[in-house]
Structure 1
Amino acid sequence: MFPLLSRSMLLENLIPRDSPKYGKRHVVHLHDIPGGAKAFLFVAKFCYDIKTELTAMNVVTLRCAAEYLQMGEDYGEGNLIFQTENFLIEVFGSWDDSLRAVEDCEGVFHIADEIHLVSRCIESLAMKACAEPRSLTRHNSPTGTLPDATSWNGLGSVSKPSNERDLSDDWWYKDVSGLKLHMYKRLIFAVTSKGMDPKRIAGSIMCYAKRYLPLDGRASVNMPVSSEHEQVTLLEEIVGLLPDQKGIIPTKFLLKLMRISMILGADPSCRDILEKRIGSQLDNAALEDILIPSIGYSAETLYDIDCVQRIVDYFMLGDSDESDSSSNELVDDQQLIPSSRELTPTTMVANLVDNYLAEVAPDVNLKLTKFLSLASLIPGYSRPLDDGIYRAIDIYLKAHPWLTDSEKEQLCRLMNCQKLSLEASTHAAQNERLPLRVIVQVLFFEQLRLRTSVSGWFFVTENLENSQDLSRNIGPRIESGTHEISVNNPIVTVDEMRTRVSSLEKECLGMRQDIQKLVKNKGSWNSIFKMLGLRLKTTTRSGSDHHHPKTVKTPLSAKMFRNSRKAGSNGKQIKDNNVDGDKTIQSQS
Structure 2
Amino acid sequence: MASTGKACVFYREGNDWFCNAGLPSDIAVEVDGVCFHLHKFPLVSKCGKIENLLEDSQSKHGETFYTTLSEFPGGPDMFLAAAKFCYGARVELAPRNVVMLYCAADYLEMTEEYGEENLLAKCENFFHKNVLCNWKDCILALQSSDPAILRAEKLQILSKSLNSLSMMACTDPSLFGWPMMMYGTLQSPGGSILWNGINTGARIRSLESDWWFEDVSYFSVSLFERLIQTMKARGMRPENVAGAIMYYTRKYLPGLSRWQSGQSGKSRSVTSFSMTPATIDQRVLLESIEKLLPEKKGKSFCRFLLGLLRVAMILDVSQLCKDSLERRVGMQLDLATLDGLLIPTYSDSDTLYNTDCVERIIQHFLSLESSVTWFSPSSFDLETSSPSGSLQKVSKLIDSYIAEVAADVNLKPDKIRSLVDSLPESSRSFHDGLYRALDIYFKETRGEPKLCCHVIATNEFGLQ
Same fold (TM > 0.5): yes
1:33 and 2:69 are equivalent in the alignment? no
Is the CA contact 1:275–1:310 (under 8 Å) kept in the aligned structure 2?
yes
- 1:168: which partner in 2? 208
- 1:13: which partner in 2? 52
Is the CA contact 1:94–1:142 (under 8 Å) kept in the aligned structure 2?
no
Matches within 5 A, 1:132-281: 132-139=172-179, 142=182, 167-213=207-253, 214-216=255-257, 230-247=281-298, 250-281=301-332
Alignment equivalent of 2:336, drawn from 269, 285, 291: 285
State the shift of 1:49 in Å. 2.6
- 2:140: which partner in 1? 100
Distance (Å, rounded) in 2 between the aligned partners of 1:97 and 1:119? 15
* Amino acid corresponding to residue 140 of structure 2 in structure 1: R
1:66 and 2:105 are equivalent in the alignment? yes
State the shift of 1:225 in Å. 6.8
Is the CA contact 1:4–1:11 (under 8 Å) kept in the aligned structure 2?
yes
Is the CA contact 2:220–2:279 (under 8 Å) kept in the aligned structure 1?
no
State the shift of 1:165 in Å. 9.7
- 1:45: which partner in 2? 84
- Unaligned stretches of 5+ in structure 2? 1-38, 188-203, 265-275, 373-384
- 2:408: which partner in 1? 363
- 2:166: which partner in 1? 126
Is the CA contact 1:301–1:366 (under 8 Å) kept in the aligned structure 2?
yes
State the shift of 1:36 in Å. 2.3
* Amino acid corresponding to residue 256 of structure 2 in structure 1: L
Distance (Å, rounded) in 2 between the aligned partners of 1:145 and 1:70? 40
Alignment equivalent of 1:310, drawn from 354, 360, 378: 360
Is the CA contact 2:299–2:336 (under 8 Å) kept in the aligned structure 1?
no
CA RMSD of aligned residues (A): 3.2
- 1:531: which partner in 2? none
Matches within 5 A, 1:188-587: 188-213=228-253, 214-216=255-257, 230-247=281-298, 250-297=301-348, 299-318=349-368, 341-405=386-450, 407-408=452-453, 411=456, 414=459, 416=461, 438=464
1:77 and 2:116 are equivalent in the alignment? yes
Greater per-residue strand proportion: 2
State the shift of 1:197 in Å. 0.6
Distance (Å, rounded) in 2 between the aligned partners of 1:277 and 1:140? 38
Moved more, 96-105 or 232-241: 232-241
Q: 1:236-292 deviations in whole A, cap 9, x for unaligned?
A: 111111112344971111111111121122222211111111111100000000101
* Amino acid corresponding to residue 39 of structure 1 in structure 2: M
Distance (Å, rounded) in 1 between the aligned partners of 2:250 and 2:358? 24
Is the CA contact 2:143–2:219 (under 8 Å) kept in the aligned structure 1?
yes
- Unaligned stretches of 5+ in structure 1? 148-163, 323-339, 418-433, 439-589
Is the CA contact 2:413–2:451 (under 8 Å) kept in the aligned structure 1?
no
Name the CA shift for 1:30/1:382 in 2 (closer, same or farther; >3 Å).
closer
Distance (Å, rounded) in 2 between the aligned partners of 1:379 and 1:20? 84
SS of residue matched to 2:229 = helix
Is the CA contact 1:138–1:144 (under 8 Å) kept in the aligned structure 2?
no
State the shift of 1:304 in Å. 1.0
Which structure is larger by alpha-carbon Rg, 1 or 2?
1
Name the CA shift for 1:112/1:224 in 2 (closer, same or farther; >3 Å).
closer
State the shift of 1:401 in Å. 3.0
Distance (Å, rounded) in 2 between the aligned partners of 1:356 and 1:294? 15
Distance (Å, rounded) in 2 between the aligned partners of 1:404 and 1:256? 35
SS of residue matched to 1:27 = strand
Name the CA shift for 1:320/1:16 in 2 (closer, same or farther; >3 Å).
closer
* Amino acid corresponding to residue 343 of structure 2 in structure 1: I
Q: Which has the higher contact order (CA 8 A, sep 6+)?
A: 2
Name the CA shift for 1:379/1:37 in 2 (closer, same or farther; >3 Å).
closer
State the shift of 1:20 in Å. 7.8
State the shift of 1:405 in Å. 4.6
Is the CA contact 2:218–2:277 (under 8 Å) kept in the aligned structure 1?
no
Q: 1:319-362 deviations in whole A, cap 9, x for unaligned?
A: 5889xxxxxxxxxxxxxxxxx93221011101101111111112
State the shift of 1:72 in Å. 1.3
* Amino acid corresponding to residue 37 of structure 1 in structure 2: P
Is the CA contact 1:93–1:140 (under 8 Å) kept in the aligned structure 2?
no
Is the CA contact 1:10–1:70 (under 8 Å) kept in the aligned structure 2?
yes
State the shift of 1:46 in Å. 1.9
* Amino acid corresponding to residue 158 of structure 2 in structure 1: V
* Amino acid corresponding to residue 287 of structure 1 in structure 2: L
State the shift of 1:307 in Å. 1.0
Name the CA shift for 1:130/1:69 in 2 (closer, same or farther; >3 Å).
same
Distance (Å, rounded) in 2 between the aligned partners of 1:39 and 1:33? 8
Q: 1:178-226 deviations in whole A, cap 9, x for unaligned?
A: 11111111111110110111111111111111122232469x9x99776
* Amino acid corresponding to residue 124 of structure 2 in structure 1: E
Q: Percent sequence identity over matched residues?
A: 40
* Amino acid corresponding to residue 128 of structure 1 in structure 2: M
Greater per-residue helix proportion: 1
* Amino acid corresponding to residue 91 of structure 2 in structure 1: T
State the shift of 1:233 in Å. 2.3
Name the CA shift for 1:396/1:49 in 2 (closer, same or farther; >3 Å).
same
